[in-house]
Structure 1
Amino acid sequence: MHTGSPHARAPLAVLALVAAVAALLLGGAGPASAHSGLTGSDPADGSVLASPPPHVTLTFTETVGLSADSVRVLSPDNERVNPRPAHHADGRGNTGRVELADGLAQGTYTVAWRVVSADGHPISGAFVFSVGRPSETAAEVPDTAAGDTAAGRLHGVFRHVAYSGLALLAGAAAFVLLCWPGAGALRPVRRLLAAGWAALAVSTTALLLLRGPYETGGPLTAALDPALLGQTLTGRAGGALVVRFLLLGATAVLLLRLARRAGDPDGRAEEWCPGRRVHWTAAGLAAGLALTWAAAEHAAAGIQVPLAVPASVLHLLAMGVWLGGLATLAAVLGGRGAGGPAVPARAVGRFSTLAFAAVAVLVGTGLYQSWRQVGSWEALTTTSFGRILLVKTAAVVLMLWAASFSRRLAARVLDPAGTAGTAGATGADTGAGRVREPALAVAGTAAAGPGPAPGAPSAGAKAGPPAPGGAEGQRRRLRRTVAAEAALGVLVLTATTVLTGTQPGRAAVRSAEAAAARGPQVRVVTVPFDTGAAGHRGTVQITLSPGRVGENSVEAVVFTEDGGLAAVPEIRLNLTQTDLDIGPIDAKLTDRKGYWAAYDLRLPVPGEWNAAVTVRTGDIDQATVRAPVPVTGRPK
């Protein structure tokens, strides 16, 4: 039964390939906000509890991935007191919970946590809580950022190598397939294709091995741990890397087949023309490779994921076509020796058009991604993501400025005598049935043959003014501007790599707002007092921790007029919520030999409380002073 021509079936096969890759990478993905942040914990940071809690629960802004050591609770003696690994509390993906051992002693406990955001990047932190009363602690926690480990730094290097490999592979392939098929027989172009493929293959292998220690913060030797590698393969990022491996295998098969078709390595075989099936297959493989990034990083988390993922794919492909195509053009312009093949001027013109289209796609998708990930104008200057994005934007603007020179020079090379539109300018040879296009001839060979040079005006055509420096000067300037664009492209690639590992501005602002909502961990109020007796004046300092609804600890210290500590026979503290007519609540401070304290003061509602502090300095000398104390609600 006839099912349609191969040309008609090729687009459907490509769509099926991309859909299969998307299903593998995006299956089960839920809504999230790129780069998670801690919004709260139970017990709260800095809280003092009357009795040991049964467990510790952390809440984040988005779904997070947990490992065996994602949450560690350490005693004052630096002993781990959570016997089992962390799990999601009540099935909520944005939480992490660990059960604690029974019979915890009094003192300060440290909670160290490290989880993986939905966009594949690890985040970490630590906080403390106390049982009974605070104490000194010997607990040790990492003092570096989540990604600032040997494995994390190497992971960042190979991510840059992977982006560079994608740009070289996609750009060189696009140049061959869309601009100059004959370039596929040139050694410089083949080397670029091989270098791009090899960079992707090596970086993918390294990223797969480094993923485990990168997520867990382990040493480099953990990269060879089979259990950790197995855990990586079951995650979204590991699955994306495996799919990338499979696509690279298919790409290698296609490149080898095309290399045999293109001719001998010296490029002297007759120029070949790839068919539509080759174009569609290459497009499908390129889209699939780009999707392995989009489905595992920022685009797969946050708002509008169904729109963000294809936008990210287009952005990556446009980046590769532009930057990799520039590298290919620079290679063919600068790598021709005497007697080598001429570069058709039409190839330069086609790439100029292709680069313009790629830049248009980059601008459109870049604006959308910037809005989605930055969120506000203020975040451009107040967040790391926004500042790096400004650097990348400046580099792209400089590239466009250099590209404008390249485009004008390319136009002069295409029509050096200003004869566009004439018969001689097109070089039409109706007898041969073929268009002979002007070429960027090797220096010294343009005038070697008899007759007019390619692109010369026909008889009777009015020649335009000669280009400054002659044709060879134009070619040299074109090579320099293309090289400048390629150099700026390296800066753009570097900024892109750093951006993908940086918390987006929208998520950073949200994390900051969540931290502000939790409020400060300690409320300190200092009030002067004067009992009226000589030498019985000073200040009393009240410290309320954590200053939230629920259980709090409170400590009171008296200082003399000259700032020294003073021992007093009694301090009383009462708190009243005037607006709601609650209180007074007696804190029931007790003498702790040098200061007065209570570790079980419960405040029922948030708002501004009025603290009344009575300081007795003698048998009958005392003073009562008042001060407002803000109390926040429980973190959500």
Structure 2
Amino acid sequence: MFDRRRVPVPSRSSAMAPALAVRWALAIVLALAFALVDGGSAWAHTDLDHSDPADGTTVEQAVAEVVLTFTLPVTPLGEAVEITGPDGPIEAAIEQTDDGIVIVATPAQPLTDGGYTVAWTVTAEDGHPLDGEFGFDVEGAAPEPTATATASATPSPSASEATPTAAQPSPSPSPSATMAMDPEAAGGDGNDLAARIVARGGAAIALWSLLVAGGALAFAGFAMRGRDADDVPRLIAGVRWCGALLLGGLALRLVGRSALIAGGSFADGLQADALQDAVAGTFAWVLGLQAAGGLLMLLGVRRTVAGSWLAVAGVLIAGAGHVLGGHSNTAEPRWLVLTADIAHLVAAAVWVGGVVALAAVLRRRAREDRALDAGAMASRFGVVAAASFVVVGIAGVVLAWEILEELSDLWTSTWGIVLLIKVGLVAVVAAFGAYTHFRIVPRLAAPAETPHADAPDEHHLRSAVRWESALFVGVVVATAVLVASSVHP
């Protein structure tokens, strides 16, 4: 008689493998299709649109005022506009018009024959400090008998309101022109290298802490069931460390950012004026929300996910601060970019934090000489990780389309090269995840007579998640550099 018990029944994980393979393939095809489309510069960035006099031009009459017109409203930062002529710095009164889009610098005396350099520093609506420089020449203008050059350029309280003149855009920028950029991601000389490293490192630490904390809480909620739930208290206890690490990363970022604004000097950057400039604009809200979220993560952890609702709220608040400091604060259409930014952050947290959480649970079980028994837990996480990969890919393409002006920017600009490095690392991590989910997890989920921590498949699973966690560090560092850039250089 036929014995039904000997008929092999496919496991749930094996049955789902073809469907998940189709999802992964579809995600890759969509990502490549979107990446090959040249979206153009459809959405605006904060940058210097044009100036009067224009960069690289020669003016044949005395210049009474220098007009800078930006693409979006800005806030003057520090001196805002510094004019340097043949005899040194020139005093100028600074005024803003047109709802913050135009800045007018009126010299104490009209600018006569000679070469002039204009350096400007402002803050965008999203809190990113922006700076740049352009130059022009004046020829054929008679010098003013009483014209003098002063040692510093400070606004005059009694200056009358300046009226901007008709500004003509420069037909082609000169080599001396520089693009607006956040100092945290800008290039520079060796004097500010340490400050840039500190600022970028602090941003990466804060982002890593946020992703791991959010992902660990999510992993504990959806992947750890049944016997796995016994490890939940120890896992979510690590969220406290994430909160402390996030606060430390914010402190480093603030110090590095302030030092960059102060010209690369940490001593000057710790002064009250430099720190005040560092938190100008929306960045004050970014810093405040992330700090409040980190504090709640530090203090709000309990033994269960439901009991740790304060920590969950802290993750959400810190995430809101991260989104506020990104491109979604200025890019249009605002609803689309904001939606993509939020989806990208949530999916990345579930994926990155889930991998780190899985690695932490397996490591603890191995250290305590317990059976890893990770088949069901890894299978549940694999399904969610696949969905997160799809969301990360689509949202990332939308955000990249918003940033890149031309397809060639991917390999000709620093921003594009960093993006390609990030995409490459994500692809490697995705390959590890696919191998783990389709090859290792089905074997672990199959019934075993004597499961033990030294089983080959369990060893391979531990190795795979360790590699994924390590690679995700590089992904987060690249992300921190990209987020810190208001426009690509």
Compute the TM-score of the two structures, normalised by the length of structure 2: 0.72
Distance in 2 between residues matched to 1:440 and 1:96, nearest whole Å: 71
Residue 258 of structure 2 corresponds to residue 250 of structure 1: no
Aligned with residue 453 of structure 2, among 439, 442, 455: 442
Residue 215 of structure 2 corresponds to residue 185 of structure 1: no
Residue 369 of structure 1 is matched in structure 2 by 399
Distance in 2 between residues matched to 1:484 and 1:342, nearest whole Å: 18
Distance in 2 between residues matched to 1:338 and 1:161, nearest whole Å: 29
Counterpart of 2:62 in 1: which secondary structure? coil
Residue 407 of structure 1 is matched in structure 2 by 437
Residue 421 of structure 2 is matched in structure 1 by 391
Q: How does 1:209-608 map to 2 (within 5 A)?
A: 209-215=255-261, 217=263, 219-233=265-279, 235-255=281-301, 258=302, 262=303, 274-275=305-306, 278=308, 283-335=312-364, 336-340=366-370, 343=373, 345-374=375-404, 376-408=406-438, 409-416=440-447, 441-443=452-454, 472-502=455-485, 504=487
Q: Which amino acid aligns with 1:173?
A: L
Residue 117 of structure 2 is matched in structure 1 by 110
1:63–1:94 Cα contact (<8 Å) kept? yes
Distance in 1 between residues matched to 2:131 and 2:279, nearest whole Å: 22
The alignment of Structure 1 onto Structure 2 pairs a total of residues equal to 403
Identity of aligned residues (%): 25
1:343–1:439 Cα contact (<8 Å) kept? no
Distance in 2 between residues matched to 1:193 and 1:128, nearest whole Å: 51
Higher RCO by CA contacts (8 Å cutoff, separation 6 or greater)? 2
Cα distance, 1:103–1:61 mapped onto 2, change above 3 Å? closer
Residue 225 of structure 2 corresponds to residue 196 of structure 1: no
1:76–1:107 Cα contact (<8 Å) kept? yes
Counterpart of 1:198 in 2: which secondary structure? helix
Distance in 2 between residues matched to 1:210 and 1:317, nearest whole Å: 27
Residue 21 of structure 2 is matched in structure 1 by none
Cα distance, 1:442–1:372 mapped onto 2, change above 3 Å? same
Distance in 2 between residues matched to 1:202 and 1:142, nearest whole Å: 36
Counterpart of 2:132 in 1: which secondary structure? strand
Q: Where in structure 2 are there 5+ consecutive unaligned residues? A: 1-41, 144-148, 152-175
Residue 87 of structure 1 is matched in structure 2 by 95
CA drift at 1:413: 0.8
Counterpart of 1:68 in 2: which secondary structure? strand
Residue 170 of structure 1 is matched in structure 2 by 214
Structure having the higher Rg: 1
Residue 564 of structure 1 is matched in structure 2 by none
Distance in 2 between residues matched to 1:64 and 1:183, nearest whole Å: 50
Cα distance, 1:178–1:128 mapped onto 2, change above 3 Å? same
Q: Which amino acid aligns with 2:483?
A: T
Distance in 2 between residues matched to 1:290 and 1:163, nearest whole Å: 9
Q: Deviations over 1:562-598 (max 9, x none)?
A: xxxxxxxxxxxxxxxxxxxxxxxxxxxxxxxxxxxxx
Residue 55 of structure 1 is matched in structure 2 by 65
Distance in 2 between residues matched to 1:282 and 1:376, nearest whole Å: 41
**Moved beyond 6 Å, runs of 4+:** 141-145
Cα distance, 1:116–1:440 mapped onto 2, change above 3 Å? farther
Larger strand share, 1 or 2: 1
Residue 253 of structure 2 corresponds to residue 207 of structure 1: yes
1:64–1:93 Cα contact (<8 Å) kept? yes
CA drift at 1:402: 0.8
229-238 or 200-209, which moves further after superposition? 229-238
Distance in 2 between residues matched to 1:416 and 1:216, nearest whole Å: 63
Q: Which amino acid aligns with 2:231?
A: A
Distance in 2 between residues matched to 1:278 and 1:191, nearest whole Å: 10
Larger helix share, 1 or 2: 2
Q: Deviations over 1:341-380 (max 9, x none)?
A: 7555432222222222322221231222222222554443
CA drift at 1:190: 5.8
Residue 125 of structure 1 is matched in structure 2 by 132
